């Protein structure tokens, strides 16, 4: 059986015009994660990320910190995040989500959770993909990440909170509400461990941030 480290990207630029880039703190989170992996003596048989900049840059910072800059980074669109702004706009009647974030952060997140629930129940119209399509592409990407791995292989996969939440809920046979809750609890640069074997994936651990738990680093534990 192989082991898959499924990592949420490091802190991006929440609230900025271009969210899809790492903050300076995000780059540091990813480097600390790479240091942690190196300290455990890990060597990845495969490194995969989605096509988003924040996902790929997280993977690159991790492998650079491990001294493995020559590792090939494979991209797979199935690991990309859902289209959050489109979902929110479909739910809120075209309201700009960034304006709502600035006006009332807490109200925005309450509305966003409701938008996710409506999407999972197929109540949103004109969205880029259905809830079912989202789950299918995430699972296809994880299957590809684990493909042809052998016993004791270790794989690094960098994705986003929504994709990770959906994958874990599906692995556990849990409902959509669980996927949404897991999504909203994912910490930046946190990792889950999945055991891959026999065509199946099993959850071993969730949302780990040992590289951020020292007292001097706890300020770096972020969710958005």
Task: Kindly report, residue by residue over 165-215, the tens digit of the pLDDT.
Answer: 999 999 999 999 999 999 999 999 999 999 999 999 999 999 999 999 999
Q: Give the closest residue to 91 by CA, choosing from 124, 113, 131, 120.
A: 124
Helix (H, G, I), strand (E, B) or coil at 94: coil
Collect the ranges in the chain with pLDDT lower than 70: 15-16
CA distance to 31, 55, 69, 117, 161, per residue, from 73 (Å): 16, 11, 10, 34, 20
What local confidence, expressed as pLDDT, does residue 100 receive? 86
What local confidence, expressed as pLDDT, does residue 16 receive? 66
């Amino acid at each position: 059986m192989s082991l898959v480290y499924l990592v949420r990207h490091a802190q991006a630029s929440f609230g900025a015009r271009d969210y899809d880039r790492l903050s300076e703190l995000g780059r540091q989170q990813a480097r600390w994660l790479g240091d942690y992996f190196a300290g455990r003596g890990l060597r990845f048989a495969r490194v995969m990320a989605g096509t988003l900049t924040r996902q790929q840059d997280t993977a690159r910072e991790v492998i650079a910190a491990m001294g493995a800059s020559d590792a090939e980074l494979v991209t797979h669109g199935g690991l990309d995040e859902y289209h959050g702004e489109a979902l929110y706009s479909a739910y809120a009647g075209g309201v700009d989500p960034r304006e709502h974030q600035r006006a009332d952060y807490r109200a925005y997140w309450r509305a966003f959770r409701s938008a996710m629930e409506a999407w999972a129940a197929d109540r949103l119209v004109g969205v880029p993909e259905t809830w079912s399509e989202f789950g299918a592409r995430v699972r296809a990407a994880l299957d590809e990440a684990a493909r042809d791995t052998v016993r004791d292989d270790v794989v690094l996969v960098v994705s986003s909170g929504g994709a990770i939440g959906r994958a874990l809920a599906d692995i556990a046979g849990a409902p959509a509400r669980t996927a949404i809750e897991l999504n909203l609890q994912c910490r930046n640069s946190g990792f889950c461990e999945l055991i891959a074997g026999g065509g199946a994936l099993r959850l071993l651990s969730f949302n780990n941030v040992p590289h951020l738990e020292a007292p001097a680093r706890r300020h770096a534990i972020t969710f958005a």
